[in-house]
Structure 1
Amino acid sequence: MNKNLSIIGAPMDLGQLRRGVDMGPSAIRYAGVIERLEQLKYDVDDLGDIQIPRPNRKEVQIEDNLRNLKEVAEGNAQLANSVDEVVESGRFPLIFGGDHSIAIGTLAGVSKHYENLGVIWYDAHGDLNTGDTSPSGNIHGMPLAVSLGIGHDRLTGIKDYTPKIKPENIVIIGARSLDDGEKELIKEKGIKVYTMHEIDRMGMTKVIQESVDYLKDRTDGVHLSLDLDGLDPHDAPGVGTPVMGGISYRESHLAMEMFAEANFITSAEFVEVNPILDEKNTTASVAVGLMGSLFGEKLK
């Protein structure tokens, strides 16, 4: 794996309604991520946080059933430019969220550098909604659809190209809360999904091995988008949309260790850490621990 890492914080909280997730990047840093990565002999360059535009909170900012569309689009455009510069410089982009809407900008900045970018979406949710299908209008439930070129053009058109990714290059792991519109899109596009049912029946080892085998030959880079609500709330309580019955802490470490062994992750983001909802920064510490495993930390 690329030993030169550049960290970008994206303190976005406008893609959903729970305040506090904008402090996620700070919580992850506070949990010792830079020291952890440096101990693994990585050259770490922390670029700080991008500036997120703030809407007028006196008014409800909803356009085409999309909350805070203008600000979310502007913030993601800025993030896309920062990520683009990191990849262009030959370094590994590691992004801290913020809510999952930031994946719109991350993928816009990364995928222009690849012909067939693969995406591992480690999440309780599919994030495949649009303004037409979303029950809430929260854009953090839409980034995967946007990256497929489905959604509002202010979001799909970031960096002036669309789509960013192909449906056959996506693997969703840990899904257990899908809206009807998302289920239809998964069937229509043939997106590979490992729900908790498959993880329970097959075991995490087989799920990850199949995912690696599926993506390795068809892609020229793989982005990991890890939402901490992919884990069970018992292990990661500080998230805005917890769903019971999730992936365990140990299974998640196994997944990261297997990704490290496969040596094919070329960019990553860790999102939805909300310290206001957390217990003694547990969820940020879990995120840092998982990063340790992803970047090659071993017991022996």
Structure 2
Amino acid sequence: MLCRSSERVEDAAAGTEALARELAMRHDVDARLIGSPSPMKVQRFEDDLRESRGCLLEAGGQVEDALAASRRPVLIAADCSVSVTTLPVVARYAPDVTVLWLDAHADFNTPETTVSGYLGGMCLAAACGLWDAGLGDVPSLDPTAVVTCGLRDVEGPESVLLETRGVTRITRPGLLADALRGRPVFVHLDLDILDPSIIPSPFPSPGGLSDAGLRTLLTELADSADLLGCEITGFHDPALVELIATAVDPLVAQ
């Protein structure tokens, strides 16, 4: 997805396109590039929802098209906001799905709890029906179907919501494969799960995984779970494309 949702990085689409093309080349498929880049903006979620409505709906539509054709969607986008539409679609097509949220941030704020007003920090909560993003009558994802790992920067109100809504939080990546063994899993991967010394992030949080650690996690997951598809977000630096493509390749090589 080259169109802007709510990213706050200049020329973010360049990284998205580079990663899409690199993974497509490695697996001998065509990269399907959707939308056109737009200038970076820093604005509240209401404005991003209005201006990016078409992009967000198209993201959900692309995932829906793939699932309806019995294909595994691999969606690459600059920002996590696409989850507002993609994850409810996955839940509709696979009611028994587990969504694995690999991210430094929970993105579980609501209009009542957000301090920044940033849509990217509210998208999982919207997908789970905690607030209405106004993007159509799509069934929400059950929060108890979400498993998180890699969270390092979670605000107080988010922690309360995660706990009270039944989101599972796994703190040790090595436990994921056994926890999800045999289950149908859709993966949301924000590359800020990596340490910021490896890949720059607009919202850096120290203490993340190495690229080798991420590849190991994803390899073990691919061997144990039934991967239905994935979305990869947060890659903005084309110069690092080979390193990142190697780290995330186990999600694609199925």
Q: Which consecutive residues of structure 1, in runs of 5 or more, have no partner in the other structure?
A: 1-9, 39-43
**2:2 maps to 1:19:** no
Q: Distance in 2 between matches of 1:286 and 1:166?
A: 34
Aligned to 2:24: 34
Alpha-carbon shift at residue 166 of structure 1 (Å): 1.3
1:48 to 23, 28, 33: 33
1:88, CA displacement in angstroms? Answer: 1.0
Which of 212, 236, 249 aligns to 1:292? It is 249
Deviation by residue 1:17-46 (Cα, 9 ceiling, x = unmatched): 33222323212135x2112223xxxxx343
Contact map agreement 1:124 1:175 (CA 8 A) in 2: yes
Q: Which residue of 1 aligns with 2:121?
A: 141
Deviation of the 1:95 alpha carbon: 0.5
CA distance in 2, matches of 1:233, 1:61: 24
Query: Which structure has greater strand proportion?
Result: 1
Give the Å deviation of 1:71.
2.2
**Residue type at the aligned position of 2:15:** G
- 2:150 match: secondary structure: strand
Instruction: Give CA-to-partner distance per residue, 1:136-180, whole Å, 9 cap, x none.
Output: 11111111101111123414x3xx2221x2122111110000012
Structure-2 change in CA distance of 1:48 and 1:296 (3 Å): closer
In the alignment, is the contact (CA less than 8 A) between 1:145 and 1:151 conserved in 2? yes
Q: Deviations over 1:52-104 (max 9, x none)?
A: 7x69x7xx864xx6342212333111221222111111211111111110122
Question: Aligned with 2:180: secondary structure?
Answer: helix
In 2, the alpha carbon distance for the partners of 1:51 and 1:67 equals 18
Number of the residue aligned with 2:197: 234
**What percentage of aligned pairs have identical amino acids?**
24
Cα displacement (A) at 1:234 = 1.7
Q: Which amino acid aligns with 1:209?
A: A
State yes or no: 1:77 paired with 2:62.
no
AA in 2 matched with 1:25: T
Query: Per the alignment, do residues 101 and 153 of structure 1 end up closer, same or farther by CA in structure 2, a change over 3 Å counting?
Result: closer
Instruction: Could you list the structure 1 runs, at least 4 aligned residues long, displaced by more than 6 angstroms after superposition.
Output: none
Find the partner of 1:167 among 140, 143, 152.
143
The answer to whether the Cα contact below 8 Å between 1:37 and 1:292 also exists between their aligned partners in 2 is: no
Determine the structure 1 residue equivalent to 2:176.
Answer: 208
How high is the TM-score relative to the length of structure 2?
0.89
> 181, 185, 195: which is aligned to 2:157?
181
Specify every segment of 5 or more residues in structure 2 that has no aligned partner in the other structure, as ranges. Answer: none
Aligned to 1:48, what secondary structure does the other structure show? coil
Give the counterpart letter for 1:289 in structure 2.
T
Change (3 A) 1:264 1:132: same
Q: Does 1:266 align with 2:228?
A: yes
Q: Which moved more, 1:121-130 or 1:243-252?
A: 243-252
Larger Rg: 1
2-structure distance, mates of 1:273, 1:79: 17
Distance in structure 2 (CA, Å) of the matches to 1:87 and 1:254: 27
Measure the CA separation in 2 of the matches of 1:86 and 1:272. 22
Which residue does 1:130 correspond to in 2?
110
Greater Cα shift, 92-101 or 72-81: 72-81
CA separation of 1:295 and 1:96: change in aligned 2, threshold 3 A: closer
| RMSD over equivalenced CA pairs, Å | 2.4
Q: Residue 211 of structure 2 aligns to which amino acid in structure 1?
A: Y
Q: Which residue does the alignment assign to 1:41?
A: none
2:85 to 87, 105, 121: 105
